[in-house]
Amino acid sequence: MNEEKGNISIHTQNIFPIIKKWLYSDRDIFVRELISNGCDAISKLNRLAAIGEAKVSDDTKYSVKVKFNKDKKTLKFIDNGIGMTSEEVKKYINQVAFSGAEDFIAKYKDKMDESNQIIGHFGLGFYSAFMVSDTVEIETLSYIDGSEAVKWICSGGTEYEMSGSDKSERGTTITLYLNEESAEFLNEYKLREIIQKHCSFLPIEIYLEDENPKEDESAKDKENKNEDKPLNDIHPLWMKNPKECTEEEYKQFYKDVFHDFKDPLFWIHLNVDYPFNLKGILYFPKLDHELNTIEGQIKLYNNQVFVADNIKEVIPEFLMLLKGVIDCADLPLNVSRSFLQNDRNVTKISKHISKKVADKLTELYKKERETYNNFWNDINMFIKYGCMKEEDFYDKVKDIIIFKNTEGVYVTLKEYLEANKEKHENKVFYVDNEKQQSQYIRMFKENGLEAIILDSKIDSHFINFLEMKESGVKFNRIDSDISDTLKDTDSKDENKEEIEKETKTLEDLFKNILNNDKIKVDVESLKSQDIPAVILLSEESRRMQQMNSMFPGMDTASMFQNEETLVLNRKNNLVKAILSKNNDESKKEDIKLIGEHIYDLAMMSHKQLDGEAMAKFISRSNRILTKLI
């Protein structure tokens, strides 16, 4: 063909500096852009061949090769796809891309410095090569019979040169002459890493090759390279029919992609063609029990091209606690994130995903209740978080939220309320620290009462949420209140006056012993005789204290400091003894010891003693023991 020189039609003269600056945050992506253009070119040829529009020999092995040359400082992307005619180069490379990019930049320039953006990941495509190159060269031969090969060169300005080329094989070779700052991309490991990050599941085989290997490279090294093995998996599991995937495959895929050595609990294979195209696998990970936190990862793909991790605009936020891959061919991923939020498809997809998750959980609950119970520890945080984040999700799963009770049995809220409605209607007693509250738990058990265990971090928020949702239901920590069931109702004959007198005596005594005027003292007949006293703190006060500790700035602490009530059990022998010997001067010291100890013991099953209180407790214990001899 004739030589041709010309100017790229574009108004913005300084588009390259903009591209360079803009995309700088993630320079690696040029690799993905050029590889995916090669894959696109092959897929297009494939489609044409399938409808008889292109002749391709049967033994064609399609691939995209990436070749680096340390001496020449070049990086080549070679495909045997559809190629371009000179007209196409003019149309697709010279004009469209630039004008497209220009519009694009005009539209989104305010958002350019958003970190971790999708903008720039797609759309600029080919021109991302200039982020790392001084000069870019295209050599291409179209599949159309009789086409002439074309060579296109551009050195980063708006000028290009086009001429004929002696390329004899169909397809396109893009050669990047890397600039000084981009020498890092001539490293095999670096390239391999980038390709594996972005192109692991592209549908066309990708190979990496050193064009000019050093001679001293040992033979063993070469063997390890495995040059005939592609770097990617062209048939990722999520693209397969769920019926054809085995449990082993799901587990292996999970390990390969998320590098988690633990097996996942279970998974959901998404496979929808209509009304939108959505494929993917969501895994419920096994939690790290020590940390008790979930750190998920959802990888988003567009037709097997990796786009980004954890894009909250597409995936319901609470699903980020899971691990998985989602492939959406229908999303306009070449636009900005704020654009995605308004896309109707996005809303539909996100709804669909949470529905699928709710369905799967419900199915497990109904068909494999035992397994579901066993998983609960690992999945409860996810479900609770999901409920608080998404109304719809809550409505779908509210009946399958379970609670472990102090007997180790899992019950739903409904079941709990139903079973206990005679004893305490609409009231749910809970334990948030089994060890610390063991005294109360024992008391509850002895009296046939049931409490549930809510000991994960999210629970204090979740019970607030449930109280809002399930009107009338109140959650009370086990030490907030003495249920009537704990009281000895047989002592009907109790003399009110006598109790009042005792209460007064004990109140004065304990105020004196503890040197605390403000302490509230109450006297009750408890069924569990061996418990001298318990400390109660109303649920409201405790929640206020809790809130206060979260916002240390507001000094409400002093307001709630003395909300605790010391409830003494008049059925208990020690308490009885104190009462009867109260006036005996010779017992004064012993009574003081006992009183202080009763208080500390009650306190200990309510909350942790502070350092000073603990030291006093220990020294007093020693004194008491000494008295025994």
Q: Is 582 annotated as a binding residue?
A: no
149's tokens: 């090969």
User: Quick check: helix, strand or coil at residue 5?
Assistant: strand
Distance in Å, CB of 226 to ligand ADP, minimum: 25
Distance in Å, CB of 367 to Mg ion, minimum: 46
Candidate ranges 82-90, 338-346, 349-357, 477-485; the one touching ligand ADP (CB under 6 A): 82-90
Q: Is 503 annotated as a binding residue?
A: no
Q: Does 531 bind ligand ADP (CB under 6 A)?
A: no
C-beta neighbour count of 117 within 10 angstroms = 18
Nearer to Mg ion, 125 or 386 (CB): 125
Q: In what order do the strands lie in the sheet with 323-328?
A: 266-272, 278-284, 323-328, 297-302, 305-309
In the list 28, 79, 502, 564, the residue contacting ligand ADP (rule: CB under 6 A) is 79
Which residues, 6 or more positions from 475, have their beta carbon under 8 angstroms from its beta carbon? 428, 430, 454, 463, 466, 467, 539
Nearer to ligand ADP, 150 or 281 (CB): 150
Candidate ranges 59-67, 108-116, 119-127, 503-511; the one touching Mg ion (CB under 5 A): 119-127
Size of the chain in residues: 629
Nearer to Mg ion, 174 or 311 (CB): 174
What is the spatial distance between Cα 228 and Cα 209, in angstroms, rounded to a whole number?
A: 10
User: Quick check: helix, strand or coil at residue 95?
Assistant: helix
Segments in 423-495 forming alpha helices (H): 438-446, 459-469
Q: Is 295 annotated as a binding residue?
A: no
Peptide bond before 552: cis, by omega within 30 degrees of 0? Answer: no
Q: Does 120 bind Mg ion (CB under 5 A)?
A: no
Distance in Å, CB of 137 to ligand ADP, minimum: 13
| Burial class of residue 385, CB neighbours in 10 A (0-12, 13-18, 19+) | buried
Q: Which does 38 bind (CB under 5 to 8 A by kind): ligand ADP, Mg ion, none?
A: ligand ADP
Q: Is 217 annotated as a binding residue?
A: no
Q: Which does 327 bind (CB under 5 to 8 A by kind): Mg ion, ligand ADP, none?
A: none
Distance in Å, CB of 434 to ligand ADP, minimum: 58
What is the spatial distance between Cα 328 and Cα 340, in angstroms, rounded to a whole number?
A: 13
What is the spatial distance between Cα 153 and Cα 168, in angstroms, rounded to a whole number?
A: 18
Nearer to ligand ADP, 126 or 465 (CB): 126
Site for ligand ADP in 141-180 (CB under 6 A): 172
Nearer to Mg ion, 93 or 603 (CB): 93
333's tokens: 């991923």
Site string for ligand ADP, 39-68 (x = CB under 6 A): -xx---------------------------
Candidate ranges 35-43, 318-326, 438-446, 582-590; the one touching ligand ADP (CB under 6 A): 35-43
Q: Does 125 bind Mg ion (CB under 5 A)?
A: yes
| Torsion sign (Cα): 311, 314, 317, 322 | negative
Which amino acid, residue 219?
A: A
Q: Does 532 bind ligand ADP (CB under 6 A)?
A: no
Q: Is 172 annotated as a binding residue?
A: yes
Of all residues in this chain, which one has the CB nearest to ligand ADP in the complex?
125
350's tokens: 């996100």
374 sits in which H/E element: helix 369-389
Q: Which does 93 bind (CB under 5 to 8 A by kind): ligand ADP, Mg ion, none?
A: ligand ADP
Candidate ranges 122-130, 139-147, 161-169, 545-553; the one touching Mg ion (CB under 5 A): 122-130
Nearer to ligand ADP, 174 or 523 (CB): 174
Q: Is 100 annotated as a binding residue?
A: yes
Total residues binding ligand ADP (CB under 6 A)? 17
Distance in Å, CB of 122 to Mg ion, minimum: 7
Q: Which residue has the tokens 């408890």?
A: 526
Q: Which does 64 bind (CB under 5 to 8 A by kind): ligand ADP, Mg ion, none?
A: none
Site for ligand ADP in 93-152 (CB under 6 A): 93, 97, 123, 125-126
First to last CA, the chain: 114
Q: Does 82 bind ligand ADP (CB under 6 A)?
A: yes
Q: Does 37 bind Mg ion (CB under 5 A)?
A: yes
Nearer to ligand ADP, 88 or 590 (CB): 88
Q: Does 528 bind Mg ion (CB under 5 A)?
A: no
Distance in Å, CB of 43 to ligand ADP, minimum: 11
What is the spatial distance between Cα 382 and Cα 115, in angstroms, rounded to a whole number?
A: 27
Q: Is 450 annotated as a binding residue?
A: no
Nearer to ligand ADP, 41 or 66 (CB): 41
Q: Does 443 bind ligand ADP (CB under 6 A)?
A: no
439's tokens: 């005294």
Q: Please state whether 457 falls in left (phi above 0), alpha (psi between -120 and 50) or beta.
A: alpha
Total residues binding Mg ion (CB under 5 A)? 2
Distance in Å, CB of 266 to ligand ADP, minimum: 37
How is 137-175 classified by DSSP, letter by letter? Answer: EEEEE-SSTTPPPEEEEE-SSSEEEEEE----SSEEEEE
Candidate ranges 37-45, 104-112, 475-483, 603-611; the one touching Mg ion (CB under 5 A): 37-45
Q: What are the CA-CA distances from residue 234 to residues 208, 225, 281, 526, 554 (Å)?
A: 15, 19, 16, 71, 58
User: Quick check: helix, strand or coil at residue 266?
Assistant: strand
What is the spatial distance between Cα 626 and Cα 618, in angstroms, rounded to a whole number?
A: 12
- What are the contacts of 252-258 at 24+ separation with CB within 8 A? 253/281, 254/283, 254/323, 257/200, 257/299, 257/325, 258/283, 258/285, 258/297, 258/323
Q: Which does 97 bind (CB under 5 to 8 A by kind): ligand ADP, Mg ion, none?
A: ligand ADP
Candidate ranges 17-25, 33-41, 221-229, 547-555; the one touching ligand ADP (CB under 6 A): 33-41
104's tokens: 């694009």
CA angle 549, 552, 553 (to 5 degrees): 155
**296: nearest Cα among 268, 321, 266, 264:** 321
What is the spatial distance between Cα 167 and Cα 165, in angstroms, rounded to a whole number?
A: 5
Q: Is 84 annotated as a binding residue?
A: yes
Distance in Å, CB of 60 to Mg ion, minimum: 22
Strands (DSSP E) contained in 525-623 are: 533-536, 565-569
Binding residues for ATP: 33, 37, 79, 84, 99-100, 172, 337
* Contact residues: ligand ADP, CB under 6 A: 33, 37-38, 40-41, 79, 81-84, 92-93, 97, 123, 125-126, 172
* Contact residues: Mg ion, CB under 5 A: 37, 125
